[in-house]
Amino acid sequence: MGTIYAIANQKGGVGKTTTAVNVAACIAEAGYETLLVDIDPQANATVGLGLPKDGEPNVYSVLSGLADTEEALVPTAIERLKVLPSHPDLAGANVELPRQPGSENLLRHALARVASRFSFVILDCPPSLGPLTVNALVAADRVIVPVQTEYFALEGLAGLLDTLALVQRELNPRLTVAGMLLTMHDNRTRLGRDVEREVRQHFPDLVFDTVIPRNVRIGEAPSYGVPVIHHDPHCLGSDAYFELAKEVAARG
Ligand code: ADP
Ligand code: MG
């Protein structure tokens, strides 16, 4: 059974999808069978890997019981990386899921059927703590929390950690926080350096050594439908995501 990582933060635009796509790609490139599950109705990870955002079957048809997990997995241009794509209809799951008892376990059950074939499964969560993110946290072994190094970085983090502890206590005792990941970091500005120091002081031992720099290539890559390591393998962004993948893979 592979290790399942959820990439979660209720804030939007902090680098969740970018991290999910690029860590998954780097881990696959390093030789591990990897699955990326796009559980955000915005389907940015799906599109960022060059797939249509309204393909069938998809994670919504799987959660609805209309498709088998296995048949919904799609190969990508990266060897050993498969995707369970999203679909805009998944937005409806936020209303439908809470009405069904036990619905927080749907993704866990769906993944149990395929997870043994993968060394790593990466879940890209939507920017909320709603039913889809809860499904991801129930299915996951570990959580990576991307944190943008900007002025409001610390805001909401304590609340997020409380939510993770609640899920761990009530729904998924396996769940641990793998770490916070500083993203879109600008080491040249005083603000960037101050925020990094502050986050590391507040959460000692909980912040990944690797820091993801703000990098134009990282931002461009999704418009070509490829991870940054295929867009520009030698840019600073690719270096950083390879380093992070090493940190993640070393933990198993
Ligand atoms: P989230 O999934 O948390 O909403 P995204 O990963 O979609 O956040 O990132 C938000 C935006 O910032 C996207 O346009 C993305 O391409 C861009 N971005 C993310 N990380 C970086 C980075 N390290 N350098 C430059 N742009 C980035
Ligand atoms: Mg996203």
| Number of domains into which the chain is organized | 1
Q: Is the peptide bond before 57 cis (omega within 30 degrees of 0)?
A: yes
Structure token pair of residue 35: 């699955």
Helix (H, G, I), strand (E, B) or coil at 28: helix
pLDDT digits (tens, 9 = 90+) for 2-22: 999 999 999 999 999 999 999
As beta bridge partners, residue 121 has: 4, 35
pLDDT digits (tens, 9 = 90+) for 173-216: 999 999 999 999 999 999 999 999 999 999 999 999 999 999 99
Residue whose CA lies nearest to ligand 1 atom number 1: 13
**Ligand 2 centroid – CA 17 distance (Å):** 4
pLDDT digits (tens, 9 = 90+) for 45-77: 999 999 999 999 999 999 999 999 999 999 999
Does 214 sit in the ligand 1 pocket, CB within 6 Å?
yes
Does 127 sit in the ligand 1 pocket, CB within 6 Å?
yes
pLDDT digits (tens, 9 = 90+) for 71-114: 999 999 999 999 999 999 999 998 888 888 899 999 999 999 89
Contact between 136 and 44 under an 8 Å Cβ cutoff? The reply is: no
**Ligand 2 centroid – CA 16 distance (Å):** 5
DSSP string, 110-175: HHHTTGGG-SEEEEE--SSSSHHHHHHHHH-SEEEEEEE-STTTTTTHHHHHHHHHHHHHHT-TT-
Contact between 223 and 17 under an 8 Å Cβ cutoff? The reply is: no
Q: How far apart are CA 153 and CA 182, in angstroms?
A: 9
CATH number of the domain at 152, please.
Answer: 3.40.50.300
Domain range for residue 158? 3-250
Does 87 sit in the ligand 1 pocket, CB within 6 Å?
no
Residue 115 CB-half CA count within 13 A: 19
Q: What pLDDT is recorded for position 180? A: 96
Whether the pLDDT of residue 41 is over 80: the answer is yes
